[in-house]
Every structure is written in C-alpha cells, then in structure tokens.
Amino acid sequence: MWTAHQESTDYVHTHMPIDVDEARIWVKAGDGGNGVVSFRREKFVPFGGPDGGDGGRGGSVYLVARQGISTLLDFTHQRTFKAERGGHGRGARQHGKAGVDLELAVPPGTHVASEAGLSADLLRPGDRVMVARGGRGGLGNTHFATSTQRTPRIAQKGEPGEERTLQLELKTIAQAALIGEPNAGKSSLLAATSSAKPQIGDYPFTTLSPNLGVAEAPGDMEQVFVLADVPGLIAGAHTGAGLGHRFLRHVERAPILVHVVDASRPDVMDAYHVVRSELEAYKPELTEKPEIVVANKLDLPNAREGLIHLREGLPNRVVIGTSTVTNEGIPTLLDAVANALRNLPRPEEPDGGVRVYRMDTTEDDGFVVKTVEPGVYRVQGKRVERLVAMTDLASDEGTDHLQKQLERLGVFDALERAGVQVGDTVTIGEWETEWGL
C-alpha cells in the first residue's frame, strides 16, 4: 500500500536571485464616493426632510513586506496601481460602501521614497506602510439641514484619493556580504556554505546580480545567517567601472564583510587594497564594518604563501584560508562569521514596525495667492483645492457653501490684500469664478 509521502518544505535553504532591485511605480488611492441629495418620500408628505447618505471612503494603497518575495520584478510588468473608489451615498440615509484597500507585496528590505517626502523602510515580513490615503466620502444632504434651510439641495463630492509616484529600492538584507575582486571565488564560497546554486565560472563577472544563500554554522543549528554574494569589484567600481557601484548598495546593509582574495595570485595585498579603496571611495563607513578576510583557492600552488602574506599584511584581521575544492577552512569560516555576528552591538530594532523617516503632511491648511496676470488670480493649497474638488460646482447651493468655507479659511481676505477687483478672475483647482461683491 502506498502512503502519502509529504516532502518537507525547507524554507531556509533557498536560492534567491535578485534580478530587479529598483522600480518606479505610480499609486492612486480610491476617491471617496459622493454624498447624495435626496428627500424622504412618505405618503401624504410631498416633500419630506433630507435623507441623502454619505459616500464611502476610497480604498488606500499599502505596501507590505512579504516573506518569499525577493525581487521587485513584479513592478516591471505593472507600474500603475489604483485602489477602489468609495461607493456613492443613496437615499434613505444609505451610505456608500468603502472602497477596498490595495496591498502591494514587496520583498523584505524594500525602501520606498516619494518626492513629496515619504520615506520608509520595510525591513521585515509583515511591515506595512500606507503610501496613498483613500479620499473621505462626501457628506449627503442630511448634514446640511439647518433651522433656516430644511430642504438642503447640497451634498459633497468625495475627496480625491492621494496619488504619487514611488521609488522602490531593494536593499539586500544579509548578515554577511561576500566581497572581492572578480574570480576570487565568492560564488563558489556561497555554494560551499549554503544550498544556493550561483553561477560559477573561470572568467570575471560571472555573477551579474547579487545572490543570497542561507548558511548554518557547524555544530550550532541555531546560528543561521544569510550570506550575500555580489558581483566582483574592480578599480573604479565606484565611478561605474565594471558592474559599478550599483551593487555596493547591497553591501551597505550587511553588518559583516567577508572579503575573499584569490590566495594563489602573487599580489594578494594589492588585490585586497583595490577592493578596500573602492569601498572607501563609495562610502567610507563601509570600511568600518567588521571584516573577515578569506584566502581562497588554498589547494592551488603558492596559495599558502598568499595566506601568509595576507596574515602578515593584515595583523588586525582574522584571515582564514579556504578551498572550495577540498572544503578546507569552510567550517572555520562559518564559525568566524557566526562569532562576529554574536559580537555585533545589538542592532537598534525598529520597535515592531516600519521605520518611517519622513511623511508628508496631508493636512496642509496653507495656501498662496498668485497673480497669474493682471486681473487673474490663482489660489493654491492642498486644503482649498480639496474643498473645490469636493464641491458640486454645478449646484448654486454647493458653490455658496464652498464660498463660505473659503471665507472662513481667510482666502477672500488674502485675495483682497493681493488687490483683487470686481470683475477679476479667480481660480482654485478646477473652479474659475468672477470676483463679485
């Protein structure tokens, strides 16, 4: 009899090639639904009180870091994303339904920025940040009834949802980054220490984009860490030579550097310094990270001399001899990385969530009056423009109400101070009006 054999899923040992690490997308939250003008109908009551419901709020757009996603590839297929708009209100005080929020899954380690000043890091799976707020629903006419106006024929339109262009950037989160000149054996070391299967070749620039692998320190099942293998660095990399500084960004987040040198070459210290100079030129802070030096290809002739040269030249570094052919030194290297990780100062963990550095203020009451040409004025400001967008400009009651709100905000005062005259043109958002008395 057959028994079902369930293959265990090994989440840890995965090979995640990072192909796409930058993307530019446009997001738009849903507009709020419109409020409605409606009146109660009852038998024998020809014209009842107002019962127009409010519009529902528009859906917001969120970015969520999700485990298992490792590239921004999806954002090259589709670049514009819209959340659902809110439903319109209806009679009998029925409110429109809220628009569904839109969640865009991004890889952990994604940094998001917008020109308007949003800047956030989604480091860990589950981190979530709102990138465009849904518009509020417009108010139905029930809200506009007063003692003197019992049959208001005015309702608000929904507030427009926010929209913005976002720059996404994936920064690898690995505990240790394998750096070194092309052909030093970085990818071979990644393959030897994890189950990642990077491309390995006897020519420079075999690795064109970073690879991640999860390594386990021997004898200590608890100590697993992610190793990043990045393309080789050559002199001038920081100015764009070779594959350029593009991948040094991935090195930035790794707290530990594993610097691989081909120990079989005669000039091991030169090889070491070329790479160090590139780090220094790109960002001097990078050179302050703890660094483990690996003298690789120990199985080749002269490599032991190379190892000795490195040890002599770098008295303040742990220098480990390895061979990916004989496996010599690999367990020692893993131990050294695990040790260095344990000795790191505790990373300041973002307290359970997204690290948002800056966020633009959506509630911006300010406005400016600009003279476009003599006799033509434009009022600009988030709040005033939103008020206009939420007004049914075809309705006299709507524009009356808008004018009252603008007056209260001091817009009319400001226009008068700017020198507006009867008959001049004033525009705010979509609204254009002639200045009267």
Ligand X SMILES: Nc1nc2c(ncn2[C@@H]2O[C@H](COP(=O)(O)OP(=O)(O)OP(=O)(O)O)[C@@H](O)[C@H]2O)c(=O)[nH]1
Q: Quote the least distance from Cβ 219 to ligand X, whole Å.
A: 23
Q: Provide the 8-state DSSP code for 116.
A: T
Residue from 116, 145, 173, 300 in contact with ligand X (CB under 6 A): 300
* Of 64, 167, 29, the residue nearest 111 (C-alpha): 167
> CA-to-CA distance for 184 and 188, rounded, in angstroms?
9
147 by DSSP, 3-state: which?
Answer: coil
Residue from 207, 294, 387, 431 in contact with ligand X (CB under 6 A): 207
> CA-to-CA distance for 188 and 198, rounded, in angstroms?
8
Residues 207-226 that bind Mg ion (CB under 5 A): 207
Residue from 231, 242, 306, 321 in contact with ligand X (CB under 6 A): 231
Query: How far are the Cα atoms of 289, 314, 380 from residue 296, in angstroms, in the given order?
Result: 21, 16, 64
* Tokens coding 386: 């939103």
Q: Please, which residues have CB within 8 angstroms of residue 49's CB and are 6 or more apart in sequence?
A: 39, 40, 142, 145, 150, 151
> CA-to-CA distance for 178 and 237, rounded, in angstroms?
16
Which lies closer to ligand X via its Cβ, residue 162 or residue 262? 262
Q: Quote the least distance from Cβ 257 to ligand X, whole Å.
A: 14
* Tokens coding 137: 């629903």
Q: Please, which residues have CB within 8 angstroms of residue 29's CB and are 6 or more apart in sequence?
A: 58, 59, 60, 61, 82, 83, 132, 133, 134, 135, 161, 162, 163
Q: Quote the least distance from Cβ 178 to ligand X, whole Å.
A: 8
- Binding part of the chain for ligand X, among 1-9, 87-95, 178-186, 400-408 by CB under 6 A, reads 178-186
Which lies closer to ligand X via its Cβ, residue 139 or residue 215? 215
Would you count residue 206 as binding Mg ion (CB under 5 A)? yes
Would you count residue 201 as binding ligand X (CB under 6 A)? yes
Residue from 297, 321, 391, 409 in contact with ligand X (CB under 6 A): 297
Residue from 14, 119, 167, 206 in contact with ligand X (CB under 6 A): 206
Q: Quote the least distance from Cβ 190 to Mg ion, whole Å.
A: 8
Total chain residues near Mg ion (CB under 5 A): 4
* Of 359, 352, 356, 349, the residue nearest 126 (C-alpha): 352
End-to-end CA distance of the chain: 94
Q: Quote the least distance from Cβ 167 to ligand X, whole Å.
A: 28
26 binds, among Mg ion, ligand X, none (CB under 5 to 8 A by kind): none
- Binding part of the chain for Mg ion, among 66-74, 183-191, 308-316, 345-353 by CB under 5 A, reads 183-191
> CA-to-CA distance for 141 and 49, rounded, in angstroms?
10
Residue from 110, 187, 211, 391 in contact with ligand X (CB under 6 A): 187
Across-strand partners of 170?
110
Which lies closer to Mg ion via its Cβ, residue 118 or residue 189? 189
How many whole angstroms from its chain centre is CA 216? Answer: 30
Which lies closer to ligand X via its Cβ, residue 51 or residue 181? 181
Would you count residue 194 as binding ligand X (CB under 6 A)? no
Which lies closer to Mg ion via its Cβ, residue 156 or residue 194? 194
201 binds, among Mg ion, ligand X, none (CB under 5 to 8 A by kind): ligand X
- Binding part of the chain for Mg ion, among 78-86, 185-193, 247-255, 308-316 by CB under 5 A, reads 185-193
Q: Please, which residues have CB within 8 angstroms of residue 263's CB and are 6 or more apart in sequence?
A: 295, 296, 297, 298, 300, 303, 304, 306, 307, 310, 321
What is the DSSP pairing of strand 256-262 with strand 176-180? parallel
Would you count residue 232 as binding ligand X (CB under 6 A)? yes
Residue from 142, 187, 264, 322 in contact with Mg ion (CB under 5 A): 187
Q: Quote the least distance from Cβ 262 to ligand X, whole Å.
A: 7
Contacts to ligand X by CB under 6 A: 180, 182-188, 200-202, 204-207, 231-232, 296-297, 299-300, 323-325
